[in-house]
Structure 1
Amino acid sequence: MSSLDLGVVGNGTYGALIDKWARVVWCCLPRLDGDPVFYDLLNGGEPKGDGGRERGFWSIEIENASSSRQYYRQNTAILVTELTDKDGNAIEICDFAPRFTQRERIFQPMTLVRRVRPLQGSPRVRVRMRPAFNYGLREPDVTRGSNHMRFLHSGLALRLTTNAPVTYLLDETAFNLTNPISFILGPDETLTGGIEDTARQFEERTEDYWARWVRRLALPLEWQQAVIRAAITLKLCCFEETGAIVAAMTTSIPEAADTERNWDYRFCWLRDAFFVIRALNSLAEVETMENYLRYLGNIVGTAENGHLQPVYGIGLETHLVEHLVDTLSGYRGMGPVRRGNQAYEHFQHDVYGNVILAASQSFFDERLLKPATKADFERYEKVGERAFAMHDQPDAGMWELRTRARVHTSSSLMCWAACDRLAHIAEHLGLVERSRYWRGKADQIHATICKCAWNEEMGAFTESFGGDQLDAGLLLMAEVNFLQPDDPRFRSTLLAVEKALRRGHHMFRYATADDFGTPRNAFNICTFWYIDALTRVGRTEEAREIFESILACRNSLGLLSEDTDPATGELWGNYPQTYSLVGIINTAMRLSRKWEEQV
């Protein structure tokens, strides 16, 4: 049965997910949002294709396998899987995407390298290489050479270069593994060097790159390995050509079993922006942060009248038309599988605040190669004007409700944050009149929220103006400095939210029915917001306990998806989830003891 106990490899161009038996079960090419050439994660375990032969995966198997062990090489994105058979014979499979500096720039080809070597005894192995195209609809045309196989379909040609016998690969014949072998899957190009030497050099240089990258990170004293793994994986979710960061590498992993809450997350959600920038800044990962700010700046530069969509493609695509994919049955057979996301059509007013909160970094951070200018400020002012115009208007909300619109408090809160930060930026730039202008707008929104979102009977702010329900977005009031943590209104709202939405050590987004019924699993980022709120009001030991519990829910490789079943701890939702990764980073940074406190 499929699970999300999966390793992630990538290099800023594409990503691949590999299960504990060294089976590539998900890989989109030529980029993170591309055609899943390997798609077994969404194949439901049902036979597909020629004569019932399953497709959409790449396995390197040991005959009579009995156990596996999987781990990352320390401080790298190099995944190692050890497989042992029932007689004690063992092999090691090393998977990675090449990434290193070459000719004064990053070398990051659309290439997956798999190196296999015998560890013990006389293992026999079998390689099953079964890519497909167009979401499983088309089998590739396969040709062979003396040391390679080519997989062809219109618009994409892949070449697998190897020093393993090509005949054994084509026929999927088991053979004795007596010496190391390597596989290099990538564009249809001839290698300039020997296969084994090329694979070895790629591995050594990639390992060195990641070790040096991690060495530059700013880390908390505590939970360093959790932060390092989250940071590396966040880096793998970047599409560096444009600076975009995808919400997750997958599509259609359901938020809970058999709920049809299956969405395509291989795009860039603006609601992530503030938390991503905070994480990258706290890590001192300035290059990735600046590239992401560049991507956001490009979106703002093309926004008509300041209007922003909730989500954009990684190449700045604006139309992400949603389709159902009928060739794949879904994760554990739980369809539908979706391609594209209808959310691009939604009106979601919190995006204005998230973008300006993120962009503020570019006006104050003197490390940046290209700090923001007055002209940039004027472009962001258009976004601010839109935020003010929309702060008391109905929208789909930060949770993107598809059939219901309200004036959501969290959306209005972020509209306030947009105007508030513009006032700060204007003051920093010496634009006194503009600072006064935006402070007036922010104060007006603040008063509106305090009047319309406060429920005196409940003693709390509510999820929408005039409403009587709660959602986790209210926890952000202290995070964005709308209220101080010691404000009695924030403290009473926190108590109301935790009473309504906390399940054990997990936090739900909301507990009322939506378009798909009542939510059944906790949304991980909301748990991190809750931990932050507890820390701000002085409940630090409780916050640390909850943080440790959510770290215990990570899979065996230290990663989280979008959602967690509070009863079982099982991971659900798209994976690996950027929101969850930045939650680990930001929470660890806030809760950790200081370096000067170490014994």
Structure 2
Amino acid sequence: MSIRPERVGGYAALRDYAVTGDGRSIALIGRDGTVDWLAWPDLDSPTLFAALLDPARGGRFLLQPEGAYTAARRYLPGTNVLETTFTTAGGTVRVTDALTLPDSHSLAPGRELVRRVEGLAGSVPIRWSVQPRFGYGAGAPHVALRAGVPVATRGPDAVGVCAWNAGRPQCTADSVTARFHAESGTRALIALPYAYQEPLVLPLRGDCEARLDHTITTWREWADNRTYAGPWCEEVLRSSLALKLLVFAPSGAVAAAGTCSLPEELGGERNWDYRFSWVRDSAFTLDAFLKLGCAPEAAGYFWWLMHASQLTHPRLRVLYRLDGGTRAPERALPLSGYRGSAPVRVGNAAAGQLQLDTYGELLQTAWLYTNAGRRLDADIARRLAETADFICTLWHQPDAGIWEVRSGPEHFTQSKMMCRITLDRALDLAERQLIPDRHQARWRRERQAVAEFVDDRCFSPRLNSYVRSADSDDLDAGLLLGLLHGYRPSGDPRMRGTVAAIQRALQDGPYVNRYLGSDGLAGGEGAFLACSFWLAEALARCGHVDDAVHLMDELIALANDVGLYSEEIDPTTGDYLGNLPQGLTHLALISAACAIGEATR
């Protein structure tokens, strides 16, 4: 559907963004053709364009018709290459956008954004402007001609602006602009080659065109090899492509999201940097890769996780950098924030929290890996056994919980459930002689002690439900993970009661809130989309397949026009909130679709 894009105060609606990427970084492109976010050289690097967080200082790459127009867009089938069609009174033009993948036939820049503009009908006046602002808009670049090509530099960063049949670029002190007419049957090309601490490669047009075509072909070949054939196949494929964008190719890590500091409440302070890899997501991630037939991604991610966790063994960090590092100091940037939502944060202080559920996620991930026929080497097997030993003592402590609350530690129920799962999985692996079994008796004793704690102090007979934390009456959608990860079987009355209580207290139509209760931060947030998909999966596992299908259909309808999800949605307005694309949301969609498919079979 072709609509007229709109902005408020320079900001596009988050729902209006599509994303493209190359395994190293991603770009967010508005429905109006403006690139408002791009971090180079890597996904977690400082930005080249960050108008998403500050239209005045962040920098952008604008490309759109002059005058009134409408826009329709799609991904080229089976790819992460975006195609936007602009329609004006005078004609129609198509823009194809990609962060290109290198081929073996030409010398490629370190990174490259290519934008192809094709005149389809009539004559369309086009304007474009590249406004680079390196380092989260920290300072204006120096722009000068190099071999006739405008090049913007600041410190070790350099980006060229190569244009063919796209007007004559005009350089100002800190930007490059041009105008041209896209006539029917013509093709223009604009490429941004980038280099960091190395010589800048200024590409030839033919090489850029070839790399764009190669990128399309490569994405399609990857999509054609996905093995999922259950319900909502198209949506699962799109989620798998979105997830692939968050796989950091050099290490195999999977980022939680592609952006930082997009608000969970407009004007609020819940603005976090999600460009890290969370252990919390690990079991869902590995399970999705295995079910989708992504063997290289599954192996790469598993070994990255084992290596990263080795650096902090026996303790786990809540999150790790994409290179496996542990430092993620949180600081505020001098940007206005999306629609005035400040502070704008990079880094994440949650990295230093104790989050007990991560130990269960780690053992669940290893358990899934071995169930798929993979083997563990001796060092990893030893470390997993030591992790089980460690949790035997650690589980008694309060923690920050899965939602990383900043109000102080508590005895969160979901954390304790995952501690029991840590020991369950360790015992199973030991019985299969996949990890050392010297402490099985202790693991069994502590597993029973955890279960007694959860059942005695974390269950409310009045609500007929597990509760958010020990001795409370609050509910938490994270408790659904106890069912999904196997704390108790789906037929258990207490788990079924918990699912029903979450429906009564936290669900409103397709929307599910994370929890009731304080978390130490001011303001509120939207409905958490992953929780909605978890509920759909839980319903299917409990035998309520019709209810699960109905909820799933409602959730599928909440995707934006190109099939992407953010972290949250405002139930009142339908506006997207939080960082995007959100890996956990797409993982939860894949998991729910697979579970419902299994239930219907």
TM-score, L = length of structure 2: 0.91
- Using the TM superposition, give the Cα deviation of residue 173 of structure 1 relative to its aligned residue in structure 2, in angstroms: 3.7
Identify the match of residue 194 of structure 1 among 204, 210, 216: 204
Cα deviation, 1:315-341, whole Å, max 9, x if unaligned, reads: 122121111111x11111222211111
User: Structure 1 residue 361 and structure 2 residue 372: aligned?
Assistant: no
Residue 224 of structure 1: which of 233, 245, 249 is its match? Answer: 233
**Superposition deviation, residue 7 in structure 1:** 1.0
Q: 2:590 aligns with which of 569, 585, 592?
A: 585
Aligned to 1:51: none
Runs of 5+ unmatched residues, structure 1? 49-54
- Unaligned runs of 5+ residues in structure 2 are 1-7
**Structure-2 residue corresponding to 1:82:** 85
2:399 is aligned to: 395
Give the whole-Å Cα distance in 1 for the aligned partners of 2:412 and 2:362: 18
What is the identity percentage for the equivalent residue pairs of Structure 1 and Structure 2?
29
SS of the aligned residue for 2:282 comes to: helix
Is the counterpart of residue 60 in structure 1 residue 75 in structure 2? no
Q: 1:317 aligns with which of 313, 322, 325?
A: 325
Aligned residues of 2:253 and 2:322 also touching (Cα < 8 A):
yes
Q: Evaluate the alpha carbon distance shift between residue 591 and residue 215 of structure 1 in structure 2; reply closer, same or farther with a 3 A threshold.
A: same
Whether contact under 8 Å (2:540, 2:548) holds in the other structure is yes
Call closer, same or farther: CA 1:294–1:65 in 2, change over 3 Å.
farther
Please tell me whether residue 380 in structure 1 is matched to residue 384 in structure 2. yes
Superposed, 1:83-482 pairs within 5 Å as 83-85=86-88, 87-99=89-101, 102=104, 109-164=110-165, 167-170=168-171, 172-178=177-183, 179-188=186-195, 194-195=204-205, 197-304=206-313, 306-326=314-334, 328-366=335-373, 371-429=375-433, 433-435=438-440, 437-482=442-487
Q: Give me the whole-angstrom Cα distance separating, in 2, the residues matched to 1:91 and 1:536.
A: 48
Q: Which moved more, 1:448-457 or 1:425-434?
A: 425-434
1:3 aligned onto 2:6: no
1:162 match: secondary structure: strand
Q: Does the 8 A contact of 1:97 with 1:108 survive in 2?
A: no
Name the CA distance, whole Å, in 2 between partners of 1:321 and 1:28.
18
Letter in 2 for 1:57: R
Cα distance change on mapping 1:134 and 1:482 into 2, 3 Å: same
Write the distance in 1 (CA, Å) between the matches of 2:117 and 2:358: 46
Deviations 1:151-171 (A, max 9, x none): 111121122333246743436
In structure 2, do the counterparts of structure 1 residues 570 and 414 end up closer, same or farther at CA, with 3 Å as the change threshold? Answer: same
Distance change >3 Å, CA 191–CA 319, structure 1 → 2: closer
CA distance 1:123–1:522, change in 2 (3 Å): same
**Contact preservation (8 Å) 1:98, 1:109:** no
Alignment correspondent of 1:52:
none
Deviation at residue 64 of structure 1 after TM alignment? 1.0
Secondary structure at the counterpart of residue 238 of structure 1: coil
Look up the match of 2:507. Answer: 502
Deviations 1:514-556 (A, max 9, x none): 3224634211111111111111111111111111111111111
Cα distance change of structure 1 residues 41 and 479 upon mapping to structure 2, 3 Å threshold: same
CA 1:517–1:495 in structure 2 vs 1: closer, same or farther (change >3 Å)? farther
CA distance in 2, matches of 1:159, 1:546: 48
Amino acid at match of 2:274: Y
Root-mean-square deviation (CA, aligned residues, Å) is: 2.2
Range with greater deviation from structure 2 (446-455 or 540-549): 446-455
Task: Give the letter aligned to residue 262 of structure 2.
Answer: I
Distance 1:186 1:484 in 2: 53
Asked if the contact 2:166–2:188 (Cα under 8 Å) also holds between the matched residues in 1, the reply is no
Q: Which residue type is aligned with residue 373 of structure 1?
A: D
Matched, 1:70 2:73: yes
Residue 83 of structure 2 aligns to which amino acid in structure 1? V
C-alpha deviation, 1:569, in angstroms? 2.4
> CA contact under 8 A between 1:513 and 1:519: conserved in structure 2?
no
Aligned AA (1:59): L
Note if contact 1:346-1:400 (Cα within 8 Å) is conserved in structure 2.
Answer: yes
Out of 42, 59, 68, the position equivalent to 2:53 is: 42
Cα distance, 1:429 vs structure 2: 2.1
Contact 1:242 1:314 in 2 (8 A): yes
Q: Is the contact between residue 38 and residue 132 of structure 1 (CA under 8 Å) also seen in structure 2? A: yes
4+ residue runs over 6 A deviation: none
Q: For the residues of structure 1 that align with 2:122 and 2:300, how far apart are their CA atoms?
A: 48
Instruction: String of CA shifts for 1:23-61, please: whole Å, max 9, x gaps.
Output: 101011110011111111111x4x44xxxxxx5100112
Instruction: Give per-residue Cα distances to partners, 1:103-139, cap 9 Å, x unaligned.
Output: 9xxx995211111121111222111000101211211
Kept in 1: contact 2:355–2:400 (CA 8 A): yes
What is the Cα deviation at residue 434 of structure 1? 4.9
Structure 2: distance between partners of 1:10 and 1:113: 11
Q: Is 1:350–1:398's contact at 8 Å kept on the other side of the alignment?
A: yes
Report the 3-state secondary structure (helix = DSSP H, G, I; strand = E; otherwise coil) of the residue aligned with 2:135.
Answer: coil
Q: Conserved in 1, the CA contact under 8 Å of 2:92 and 2:124?
A: yes
Asked whether the 8 Å contact 1:424–1:435 carries over to 2, the reply is: no
SS of the residue corresponding to residue 134 of structure 2 reads: coil
The verdict on how the C-alpha distance between 1:415 and 1:316 changes in structure 2, with shifts beyond 3 A counting, is same
> Hey, what's the Cα distance between the residues in 1 that align with 2:289 and 2:516?
32
TM-score if structure 1 supplies the norm length? 0.92
Q: Is residue 2:13 matched to residue 1:28?
A: no
1:492 is aligned to 2:497: yes
The AA in structure 2 aligned to 1:381 is A
Partners of 1:127 and 1:169 within 8 A in 2:
no
2:282 alignment partner AA: A
On the 8 A contact 1:423/1:436 being kept in 2, the answer is no
Q: Distance in 2 between matches of 1:133 and 1:211?
A: 32
- Please tell me whether the aligned partners of residues 321 and 341 of structure 1 are also in contact (alpha carbons under 8 angstroms): yes
Q: Once the 2 structures are TM-superposed, how far is the Cα of residue 101 of structure 1 from its aligned partner?
A: 6.2
Q: Which moved more, 1:12-21 or 1:55-64?
A: 55-64
* CA pair 374-423 structure 1, distance change in 2 beyond 3 A: farther
